[in-house]
Structure 1
Amino acid sequence: MRSPLKEYEKRKAKYNILLKKHQKYMDNLSNLRLAVFVLGLVILIRMYMVKLYFLFDSVVLVMIILFCYLAYLHKNIENKKKYIAALEEVNETSIKRLKGEWKNFQDSGEEFIDKNHNYSYDLDIFGKGSLFQWINICRTYIGRQRLKEILTEKPEDKQSINNRQCAVIELGPKIHFRQRLEAEGKIICNDKQDTKELFSWIKERNDYILEKKKVWILRVLSMVTGITSLTLIVRIIDYVIAVLLDTSRSAPKIFYIIPYYVPIFLIFIQCVILRIKREDRMKNLIIAEKYNYNIKTYRNMLKHIEKHKFKSKYIIDLCKMLCDNDAKSAYKQIDTFSKICESIVSRRNTLYPILNSILMLEYHWTISIERWKTKAGNDFEKWLSIIGELEALCSIANIKYDNPHWSMPEIITGASMITAKNMGHPLLGEKRVCNDLSVEESYQVMLITGSNMSGKSTFMRTVGINVILAYAGAPVCADQFCCTIMDLYSCMRTSDNLGQSISSFYAEILKIKNIVKASKEGKKVLFLLDEIFKGTNSRDRHTGAMILVKQLSRTGNLGFISTHDLELGEMAKDKNSKIRNYHFSEYYRDNKIYFDYKLKAGISPTRNALYLMKLAGIEIKENNEVE
């Protein structure tokens, strides 16, 4: 099996070659269009000079048809080129992700940062250098929202995790499906545009415009006006040609039967009708035009989804919901809607005011929109949620494909526990140092001591982020991983909030209060506490920490606490203690400090604060006084 990096490089090279070919096609078509125009102009001038007037109209018509056909081909190839460019970019991004250059990706999910969330801020789930920035390939607003929910909400039960695991295992090798779904999504101009307005608009109903009598009158009136106006337009064109070529009029007499004032009168009547409730119609047209590209993209994504066959029951059940509307698929329904919205965009054409006054396009578009809403509008949000779900699953499946040696975690029921073999931090790449872990029912709290920079905080973040991946249905950065479903809380990164007049110490107290409350409510709590009560004096910190550790070590909870307070380690000596001591240590060589970042049993035997002070230039005497 080819490595992920080589597969991405091969695909990027293939799409790069296709891009060059399509650019060449486009250049040739542009040259051909120019040649057709010049040649046609020369022929028309020659015909005028030799007075072949009877062929003049035919040549003009042929030129227009040929020119429009070449323009259509050019636009079609241009669209294909954009799609291929998107696929090339997808593979380039995948290569950067594997090479550790993902921290420069534009979408970091910064707007999802919530300092009050139970764990997301402490564990770098969103923002620069975050888990979201690393894995996200969602290109729709609803897909990004769904991925955010998966990473920040406790799973309902073991089955929901297993469902996602099965889907991720199937989607992992489907690189063709995942990349093309992402490429389709790249067409959206603004993937952070909230869809609430779109959903709300589609749920609105205007039964007034759908009354059969009104629809019948509007259609008959616009048809009659259109036909009579056509006779007037032909007469005008015939007159202009006759004047320019100095010939008699050649249009058939049938176009002169209807008096010229009839279509003028009908157009006047329609202009009056167009003023009735125009604001309501304009709201429909503006929103349809605003979301035109989004709807077109949703259509293409649904088409891509519907033509694939899946084996995972979870994905199969999702796809079934795309075909339960009168046996007509979601793609076909949205395709109809997309065509309506695309035609509405044409009102930006300079001829639109004239055509609208003749054909009352505003009314016909509004009728088409309202009929579509009535027929399929209730399912629209559901269809988009399926797109979002599959985008989120593909983001997680990317981890599976890019890291084939990572293991799928085992989720079990029963007492709170976590066991892991060779577990590392997924965001550290080749720099990661892996550790084994076993926290089972016999004890509930790991008290981690160690010197500064030895790896205590990183280890706890490693535990937390792998638990989040496990709950998301993703593979984890470990050879083996097993855990139960718990409510994850952390208190690792606190700061002053001047706007709310909250000090970092009080912010820490509020976080710990939430953990204690959840524990008292009988929840299975997994807590990660880094240097608790560091904002107060040493005596209060020690006393408070002892009380908190004892309180959180009750049955059902499981947690990790890092501290420099070595005296807290004495709590593990109690006969019925549910606390175990672990530590990280450093070693010295050639007057330099080194860390192995390996977890070891027992209380830390070393301290390095004074040594680090010396490295900073602070001269310390034998009795630890500062010179």
Structure 2
Amino acid sequence: MINYYHQRIEETEKNIEYLQRRDNYLSMGRLLGFVLLVISLIISISTLKLIPGAVTVLLAIGFVQVVLIHLKNHANLTRENTRKGLLTNEIRGINLEGNNYYSGAAFRDPNHDYTLDMDIFGEKGLFHYINRCATGVGNKALAGWLSDEPTLNTILVRQQAVKELAKKKSWCENLRVELYERRIKDFDAEHLPEIKKTLPPPHNIKIWITASFSILAITLSAIIFAGINASLLLLPVFFNYFFNARMNRFTSTIKIQLEGREKTLIDYHYMLTTLEAEEFSAPYLKNLQEDLLLEKNNATTAIAYLQGLSKKLDYSLNMIVGAILNYFFIWDILTCIKISAWFDKYASKTHLWFEVAGKLEALISLANLENNHPQWNYPEFAENKFELSGKEMGHPLIAEKERVSNSFQWAEGSFITIVTGSNMAGKSTFLRTLGVNIILAQAGAPVCAGKLHISLFRIMTYLTITDSLSENTSTFYREILRLKKILESVREDNNVLLLLDELLRGTNSADKAKGSMAITRELINYKVPAVIATHNLELAEMQKSYPQEITNYYFDIIIDDNNKMKFDYKLKTGVCNTFNASLLLKEIGIDIER
């Protein structure tokens, strides 16, 4: 895939080179056209003859055309530079060298079932690796998919949509370029309905509007037909002045709400129009298009109408034009009434429109993941519980050259896996590999595995437990709190997959062994599937008492003739018998055998 991006970058650079040359020519053309226009204008004014005047008009028309062409060319040049940046970003992303898109740091939640332990959010986390969303609603949608519990049907229809979008590389690329260039600042949909609350009762407004236009009509008739002095026009001016003053709070509220948001409306309008115009076969994508349909028109038409009303308000920003429009024709009041009616009619639907935009971006992010990793595969989901098997599973955030993939399968009837191994042998990474691939699977994305066959699980983890000075809690007490939450959850619902790393690490070895075994027995009693990484061999010995329920795996180390450790990071069946704490201590000058 990297070769594809290099090829696209070369094509884009050729376009940039052409557009840059054209931009230079057009800049010189604008300068020359301006000079000629000024000279021609001077000649035509000094001579007051027809031919110089006609030439000046033609030059003015030509100059305007050159300016418009130059602006369009410059926009295309900017777009192609953005495209080159995004294509370069894809190469960096595949090589795990970073991502220009948002890291999702705001979505970090230390109390979530798994996102903190699985490094989902934050710099160089899974979200950051996948994310290609330029809007807040897109980031929110993708974050939700990586942290929520979907239904099986939701996962499957997302998969179909992702697969279809992955085939529309150019369409997705063009949309991403436009959105990244625009960097949409999200329209605050939550506050849209509040605007209409400042509007006085409709009958009040109708009376004032009727009075305003009646006074204007009577005044104009009196001046035109009765020959009354034109100073009578001050009557509608004074009336409308007081009317505008009375409605100032109403019009100001709407202007403040719309201030700076016209560009946002244009950006969303572009995005939703692009979605509406494309043909899709995946039901999920078709449903997104249907969500934009209204009774008589569609969302994009409604947004375009509001955008037009917003522009009408801008007309009155000019002091002279604004005075004429407002003191004769109550322009702002009428426009704001129409905007209020728009909010009254559509405010409840805007959430859905923005959600559609967000879901589309999230799907494009997952489709981009598929295109960047064609060797990855989509998971298969089992209808029954306790299905978990994978072939050549790897962690997506480990570089492919360094990644060691492992296969894993629960034996028939087994649902507890004990993973033993020495320090740094790969136990914790294996737990994260399992967790991250299941999270990807349940988001509707391809997984970093040759094959993955799983039941639908709620994931809960126990990996990163630390003390808290702000909460005045020790590591062990925080472990207890975490275990309490886990056990309360599994007692209510055993369709939870637990990924547990070194239970009760904050206490002494004897209590740790007894406590870990008691917790494991509790999980067996409630038939809760779990993968438990541990140094505790007594935990692995439980397989003798529960041969059907427990399966043992381990990660091994090789110690060469020079007492140097070598790790192969390969998962094997059985129990680890080689540990390396003494060797690691020896490397820092501590010999435990002295």
Relative to the length of structure 2, the TM-score reads 0.90
Deviation at 1:138, TM superposition (A): 1.2
What residue in structure 2 maps to residue 195 of structure 1? Answer: 188
The correspondence for 1:171, drawn from 162, 165, 174, is: 165
Matches within 5 A, 1:318-357: 318-326=288-296, 328-344=297-313, 354=323, 357=326
The correspondence for 2:351, drawn from 368, 381, 384, is: 381
What residue in structure 2 maps to residue 238 of structure 1? Answer: none
Letter in 1 for 2:502: E
The answer to whether the aligner puts 1:144 opposite 2:139 as a matched pair is yes
The answer to whether the aligner puts 1:101 opposite 2:73 as a matched pair is no
Letter in 2 for 1:12: I
Decide whether the 8 Å contact of 2:120 with 2:146 is kept in 1.
Answer: yes
Decide whether the 8 Å contact of 2:208 with 2:243 is kept in 1.
Answer: no
Deviation at 1:14, TM superposition (A): 2.5
Report SS of the residue matched to 1:442: coil
What residue in structure 2 maps to residue 598 of structure 1? Answer: 570
Report SS of the residue matched to 2:137: helix
Matches within 5 A, 1:474-623: 474-554=445-525, 556-575=527-546, 578-589=549-560, 590-618=562-590, 620=591
Decide whether the 8 Å contact of 2:103 with 2:128 is kept in 1.
Answer: yes
Deviation at 1:450, TM superposition (A): 0.8
Deviation at 1:139, TM superposition (A): 1.4
The correspondence for 1:128, drawn from 110, 123, 127, is: 123
Change (3 A) 1:507 1:347: farther
Change (3 A) 1:224 1:496: farther
How many equivalent pairs are there?
587
The answer to whether the aligner puts 1:76 opposite 2:47 as a matched pair is no
Letter in 1 for 2:97: E
Decide which moves more: 554-563 or 531-540.
554-563
Change (3 A) 1:556 1:349: farther
Decide whether the 8 Å contact of 1:140 with 1:388 is kept in 2.
Answer: yes
Letter in 2 for 1:93: N
Change (3 A) 1:171 1:493: same
Deviation at 1:164, TM superposition (A): 0.9
Unaligned runs of 5+ in 1: 229-253
The correspondence for 1:45, drawn from 35, 42, 47, is: 42
Mapped partners of 1:614, 1:31: distance in 2? 74
Mapped partners of 2:197, 2:9: distance in 1? 44
The answer to whether the aligner puts 1:467 opposite 2:438 as a matched pair is yes
What residue in structure 1 maps to residue 408 of structure 2? Answer: 437
Decide whether the 8 Å contact of 1:496 with 1:507 is kept in 2.
Answer: yes
What residue in structure 1 maps to residue 28 of structure 2? Answer: 31
Decide whether the 8 Å contact of 1:205 with 1:374 is kept in 2.
Answer: no
Mapped partners of 1:535, 1:316: distance in 2? 52
The answer to whether the aligner puts 1:297 opposite 2:267 as a matched pair is yes
Report SS of the residue matched to 2:479: helix
Decide whether the 8 Å contact of 1:487 with 1:523 is kept in 2.
Answer: no
Mapped partners of 1:556, 1:562: distance in 2? 18
Mapped partners of 1:8, 1:403: distance in 2? 13
Change (3 A) 1:347 1:183: farther
Matches within 5 A, 1:186-335: 186-189=180-183, 191=185, 193=186, 195-201=188-194, 206=199, 208=201, 214=208, 261=231, 266-326=236-296, 328-335=297-304
After superposition, the C-alpha distances for 1:97-135 in whole angstroms (9 at most, x for unaligned) are 222223x53511000011110000000110111110001
Decide whether the 8 Å contact of 1:144 with 1:388 is kept in 2.
Answer: yes
Change (3 A) 1:63 1:350: farther
After superposition, the C-alpha distances for 1:203-237 in whole angstroms (9 at most, x for unaligned) are 86847469555556667888999x99xxxxxxxxx
The answer to whether the aligner puts 1:159 opposite 2:153 as a matched pair is yes
What residue in structure 1 maps to residue 174 of structure 2? Answer: 180
Deviation at 1:303, TM superposition (A): 1.2
Decide whether the 8 Å contact of 1:525 with 1:556 is kept in 2.
Answer: no
Decide whether the 8 Å contact of 2:415 with 2:549 is kept in 1.
Answer: yes
After superposition, the C-alpha distances for 1:553-591 in whole angstroms (9 at most, x for unaligned) are 235411111111122221111155622221111113344
Report SS of the residue matched to 2:259: helix
After superposition, the C-alpha distances for 1:148-200 in whole angstroms (9 at most, x for unaligned) are 111101112x2111111111111111112222222232244455x57344544
Mapped partners of 1:72, 1:222: distance in 2? 40
Mapped partners of 2:344, 2:248: distance in 1? 21
Change (3 A) 1:377 1:466: same
What residue in structure 2 maps to residue 10 of structure 1? Answer: 7
Matches within 5 A, 1:51-70: 51-52=48-49, 67-70=63-66
Letter in 2 for 1:332: T
After superposition, the C-alpha distances for 1:313-340 in whole angstroms (9 at most, x for unaligned) are 22112212222331x2322222222233
Mapped partners of 2:8, 2:498: distance in 1? 43
Mapped partners of 2:67, 2:228: distance in 1? 36
Change (3 A) 1:584 1:68: same
Deviation at 1:147, TM superposition (A): 0.8
Decide whether the 8 Å contact of 2:189 with 2:347 is kept in 1.
Answer: no
Q: Alpha carbon RMSD of aligned pairs, Å?
A: 3.2
Mapped partners of 1:517, 1:548: distance in 2? 12
Change (3 A) 1:13 1:265: farther
What residue in structure 2 maps to residue 407 of structure 1? Answer: 377
Change (3 A) 1:533 1:345: farther
Deviation at 1:543, TM superposition (A): 1.1
Decide whether the 8 Å contact of 2:37 with 2:60 is kept in 1.
Answer: no
Mapped partners of 1:214, 1:23: distance in 2? 57
Deviation at 1:55, TM superposition (A): 8.6
Mapped partners of 2:187, 2:308: distance in 1? 22
Letter in 1 for 2:458: D
Relative to the length of structure 1, the TM-score reads 0.85
Deviation at 1:94, TM superposition (A): 1.6
Decide whether the 8 Å contact of 1:172 with 1:401 is kept in 2.
Answer: yes
Decide whether the 8 Å contact of 1:444 with 1:555 is kept in 2.
Answer: no
Mapped partners of 2:234, 2:29: distance in 1? 41
Letter in 2 for 1:195: D
Change (3 A) 1:221 1:117: farther
Mapped partners of 1:50, 1:290: distance in 2? 47
Mapped partners of 1:35, 1:144: distance in 2? 47
Report SS of the residue matched to 1:406: coil
Deviation at 1:432, TM superposition (A): 1.1
Mapped partners of 1:308, 1:101: distance in 2? 33
Mapped partners of 1:463, 1:549: distance in 2? 19
Change (3 A) 1:261 1:80: farther
Change (3 A) 1:366 1:388: same
Decide whether the 8 Å contact of 2:410 with 2:551 is kept in 1.
Answer: no
What residue in structure 2 maps to residue 456 of structure 1? Answer: 427
What residue in structure 1 maps to residue 396 of structure 2? Answer: 426
Letter in 1 for 2:530: G
Letter in 2 for 1:35: L
Letter in 2 for 1:15: T
Decide which moves more: 495-504 or 477-486.
495-504
Report SS of the residue matched to 1:490: strand
Mapped partners of 1:285, 1:399: distance in 2? 42
Change (3 A) 1:485 1:107: same
Report SS of the residue matched to 2:551: strand
Mapped partners of 2:149, 2:77: distance in 1? 42
